Structure 1
Amino acid sequence: MFETKIAFIVRDDLATWQRLNVVAFLATGIASAAPEIMGQPYIDAAGRHYGKISGQPMLIFAADLAGLQSVHRKGIERELTLIPYVEAMFSTGNDEANREVFLAEDASNMNFVGLGIRGPKKAVDKVIKGLSLHS
């Protein structure tokens, strides 16, 4: 069993492509913040080498904006690793612009479309308590 837990929370009113896009970006943030979760490269029966993926499960939940803001607040209180994605980032074309629009957000009322969180299992469970798995 794992001592840590990884969860992604995406806003429930997004288009399917947006939800998938947000989770993909958040997953890269978690992998960057916790490189130790990465397993070994995959090798097929013909000897071809493939890239690594996380060796730890990741759960995906859905929430409305208020739910995302609550997870954010609780995650900060518990000092968890948080990877944010705000709605304004959909309108940018690169990482620098993403950071600019993120910095411009009202820090006490961010317009989240997704959050990635990682930390001790019990702490993450408390932060996501009441959320439903994405369906």
Structure 2
Amino acid sequence: MSDDTPIRFDTKIAVLLRADLEPWQRLNVTAFLVSGLGTTVPEVVGKPYEDGDGVAYLPMFRQPVMVFEGTKETLTAAHARALSRALPCSVFTSDLFTTGNDRDNRAAVRAVGTAELDLVGLAVYGARNGVDKVVKGARMHP
């Protein structure tokens, strides 16, 4: 017997992208931003999948990832709100489009002060109401 009761999460995963990104950049930035959540916040990951023939697949997030877009100013404000609430977050700066590996990515972020980061993307996880406050002013990605 299966339980068909709708699941409502008290947490939220949100990605905020700068609206002026190219389509390929939006996809790339989103993938990079959410990649750290599963390793640092393990409760966001569900159980492994298996198809009807018994073939196993990797687990995925247990809840939807909400994707938003906004201006550079919206990202800067959201970043400040995420930090002030001490919510787990990841950042993607414009400099990362010119690097080709994790070492150089980390060095590029480390080279710039918090207030000067040229953010093109931000991912945040936490209590639903806290994340909603962080992405305030952004709109759902079309």
Identity, in percent, stands at 39
Q: Give the aligned length.
A: 135
Higher-Rg member (1/2): 2
Counterpart of 2:23?
A: 16
Deviation per CA, 1:78-122, whole angstroms, max 9, x where unpaired?
111110100101111110100000011232121001000011111
Counterpart of 1:116?
A: 123
Q: Structure 2 length as normaliser, TM-score?
A: 0.91
The CA distance in 2 between the partners of 1:77 and 1:64, in whole Å, is: 20
Shift of 1:130: 2.1
Counterpart of 1:132?
A: 139
Q: Determine if contact 1:10/1:114 at 8 Å carries over to the other structure.
A: yes
Q: Does 1:76 align with 2:83?
A: yes
Counterpart of 1:62?
A: 69
Shift of 1:32: 2.0
The CA distance in 1 between the partners of 2:73 and 2:123, in whole Å, is: 16
| SS of 1:108 mapped into structure 2 | helix
Which segments of structure 1 move beyond 2 Å, counting only runs of 4 or more?
A: none
Counterpart of 1:38?
A: 45
> Root-mean-square deviation (CA), in Å?
0.9
Counterpart of 1:90?
A: 97
Counterpart of 2:5?
A: none
Give the letter for the 2:82 counterpart: G
